Amino acid sequence: MSYLKEKATAFLMSRIGKTARVITTENITDSLLAITLHTPDLAKWRSCQHLKFETGKGHYRDYTLAHWNEANKQGTLLIDAGHEGAGSNWARLLRPGQALLYAGPGGGIHQPTAAAHLVCLGDASAIGHFSSLFHRKGTQQQLYTLISHKQPLPLKILDMPVDTTAGYIAGVERWLLQQPFPMSDTTFYVAGNIPLVVQIRKLIKRLGAQQIKAQGFWE
């Protein structure tokens, strides 16, 4: 983050920042963390909205609300902490009772369409994004998630069914060719690492996808 952007973000956080409190932290895998927060000032939630957190002095990261409970004002973040960085280090050190400064929600351009099939493709950094879609989809819609990851993930994360491939783009293609998705009634959501998103988008266009919603998070 550039110096000027850091200063602008710090000023914005000082003016509109809100406080959340950590309720629980859970290791879903060695690197995937589920952080449940009490966010009393959060009024509304849409799919794929993120909160901006201060993860250190001059460091800010956006994390998608994977799930939101309106009744008790609790939200869950799914954070991929399998690499070194300000966000990962911050997430690994969170403890119940800790107060966090955040701004938002923001974003939310990805919403469930009216298609019968919603297909989510990406890496571990996109699991919260996809979970958010899962919890807002229609009861008759089917949502499928494939995560490119070096280790197998649980078959369900926050109730969302999850498949894993260690084969990167080749693994994604193999999985897609085994699925009988009707392209005219399927929306594809692609998210995560930007080069991966670009390659998956090219792949599914080649396979005949008609509705694609893509969002890159990092390089």
Please provide the average confidence, as pLDDT, over all residues in the chain.
Answer: 92
Average pLDDT over residues 201-219: 95
Please report, for the chain, how many H helices and E strands are present, in that order: 5, 13
Q: Kindly give the pairing relationship between strand 99-107 and strand 49-56.
A: antiparallel
Q: Kindly give the pairing relationship between strand 160-161 and strand 163-165.
A: unpaired
| pLDDT value of residue 45 | 80
Average pLDDT over residues 172-193: 96
| pLDDT value of residue 80 | 95
10-52 residue pLDDT tens: 656 666 689 999 999 999 999 999 999 999 988 778 888 999 9
| pLDDT value of residue 97 | 98
| pLDDT value of residue 85 | 84
Tokens of 216: 């890159």
Average pLDDT over residues 161-168: 96
Other beta carbons within 10 Å of 217: 19
| pLDDT value of residue 5 | 62
DSSP E strand boundaries for the chain: 18-27, 32-38, 49-56, 59-69, 74-80, 99-107, 117-123, 142-148, 156-157, 160-161, 163-165, 186-193, 211-218
| pLDDT value of residue 215 | 94
Average pLDDT over residues 200-219: 95
69-94 residue pLDDT tens: 989 999 999 999 988 888 999 999 99
154-164 residue pLDDT tens: 999 999 999 99
| pLDDT value of residue 173 | 96
